[in-house]
Amino acid sequence: MNNAAYALRSPSMIAARVALERCRFAYKAYAQTLRFPMDPFFESWGPGFSVSEQARDRLMKHVHDEEHTPLTSDNRKFDPVLYHLDRTPNPHKGVVYRGGTDSKFILFQPRPLDKQIAHARGFNRFGRKVDEGYALQGATGALRCGYFQGKTGMTSNHPTSGWPSWLGAVLYDGAAQEVAIVFRGSRSGDGIRALAGAQTKSRGSPDWVTDMNHLKPHPVDKYKNSKLATGFYLAYESCVNSLTAAYNYAVNGGVVRSIQVTGHSLGGALAQNAYLDLACGTLGKALMVQDGRVTLSCTPISAPPVLIGAKAQRWLSFYADAAGVKHFYNPKDAVHGCDLVESGFHKKANTVVKVFSHPVNSPRHFGSQTALGCSVDFPDAHEPEMVWRGMNADQSDPKFWPVFDLDVTAGMPQVKELADMSLMRSLKSALANSCSLRSAAAQADLWHAVVKDEDRATEAGRGIRSVRSLRLPQDFDVLRDHDALVELQRTRTGMIQKYGKPSSHSASSSVYYTLLLGLSVRLLTAGALI
């Protein structure tokens, strides 16, 4: 057997692939909870950061006003990402998500792990159930899933601020008597803007504010004042009540022999905090898993360090059993942040930031570290699909993290780079779960409210009203409802002819793009093109 074959079949690599699949599941669950997953960070049309951030700035203030964020609240500095915090994600459904300004969309389809879940329920930050949950019909297994919430964006100076969101899930396999706890990674919209705002002013993307507080030490009493990275520790602590409730729901009185914790990127940092708390902290005591009968393990993927200084590394490596922690990362992934990462511009930039911001602090990993087999440069090296390649001898799986482009300004909406017909079929149902004419019009309304030019505002208002005037059944059939389909396409074509292609990241262009997105999705889900 050659080296590559052995590596792919080794127990640790098999476990790593299972962990990465759980990370994908956590990202999918997060995307499902967004009110408008096809543009959750209000990127809409255009590059945003360098062309006209002023329109987006006005929009951020308007959304905060609409959400009744107190004028004196420190949370006003965050991008007000809008979630359904009172709704449990449905693991059997797909979703389409667009995170940044490059217009690429991600298709999160239900995979075997998702379909094995028979019961699911979400819990808010205080540990209370958010709705009636699901007893899922047609499940291929008997897994129980509890989703949990927390906050990101807390800092040393503002430890009680933060923006709430769904942070992960607890999965319980009663037959194997195994618990899996998975945390999602950070999401940001435009990466350059998120980095600049978080690094210099602790504002913008709350996830990135947490990420950029990784060099600030936070002494933790329950770990004998060992110092942990402030941002990650505070984000983890914000979800403990919810995590505990999700755990109790998932386990449902069953026997637990092992607990496996994982997460990608930010999720990997939160997973390490959870592992510490289970192994030698208060969570492990509360769940009664510190008596030696439950095996604890942690698989951080593409994760930054969470310990600050040699003292913390020594104490926690012993008392939390560092042998249970196994890191996996691509060789050029600067986020992993250690001497093993191959040199490059981003690694040098990290070093410069550390020297000028926190020169006396020393972030440390604990546990083993395994470099994977994908040598692409950062930032691509950090992305889940490239991590998948690294775990599979640099071979890709188009169904693991399928991305595609959607042209909504063509004569007919065009889906590009998604050639597999099974993926196209999955895309149809996922689009229906992600965007409706109603949600697109609501998103367009937010942009319309900050259009400064009166003539453009008037025209944009007409566009929104024309979309809202469409009387389409929720699930009309192409042949049965031909007239409705024709009217839908006529409205879309007329909007393209009248307004042309959106030309920038201005508010009015964003109105039109969002409406065209809703109209295009409605055509695609009607079955006209798929």
H or E segment to which residue 168 belongs = strand 163-173
- Classify residue 138 as exposed, middle or buried by CB count within 10 Å of its CB (0-12, 13-18, 19+): exposed
Positive or negative: CA dihedral 504, 507, 509, 513: positive
Q: Two tokens at 133?
A: 């949950």
Please give the model's pTM, rounded to 2 decimal places. 0.94
Give the position of tokens 């690599």: 13
Per-residue model confidence (pLDDT) at position 473: 65
Per-residue model confidence (pLDDT) at position 344: 64
Give yes or no for a contact between 496 and 408, defined as CB atoms under 8 angstroms apart.
no
Assign 3-class secondary structure to 177-226: CEEEEEECCCCCCCHHHHHHHHHHHCCECHHHHHHCCCCCEEEEHHHCCE
Question: What's the count of helices (H) and strands (E) in the chain, helices before strands?
Answer: 18, 17
Give the position of tokens 């100076």: 157
d(CA 246, CA 130): 11
Radius of gyration of the chain (CA): 23
Per-residue model confidence (pLDDT) at position 41: 92
H or E segment to which residue 227 belongs = strand 226-229
Give yes or no for a contact between 272 and 191, defined as CB atoms under 8 angstroms apart.
no
Per-residue model confidence (pLDDT) at position 101: 66
- Of the candidates 179, 151, 147, the one whose C-alpha atom is nearest the C-alpha of residue 278 is 179
**Which one-letter amino acid corresponds to residue 83?**
Y
DSSP per-residue string spanning 66-118: HTT--TT-GGGGB----B-TTS---TTS-EEE--SSS-EEEEE---HHHHTEE
Give yes or no for a contact between 305 and 214, defined as CB atoms under 8 angstroms apart.
yes
Sheet order of strands, 217-220 included:
217-220, 226-229, 307-308, 363-364
Q: What are the mean pLDDT values of the chain's consecutive 10-residue runs (530 residues total)?
A: 74 96 98 96 66 77 96 94 96 92 85 98 97 89 98 94 97 98 92 86 93 93 96 98 98 98 98 98 97 96 96 96 97 91 61 43 90 92 95 90 90 83 89 94 96 94 93 61 82 88 82 94 74
Per-residue model confidence (pLDDT) at position 159: 92
Domains (range + CATH), the chain: 3-32+111-398 (3.40.50), 35-105+402-530 (no CATH)
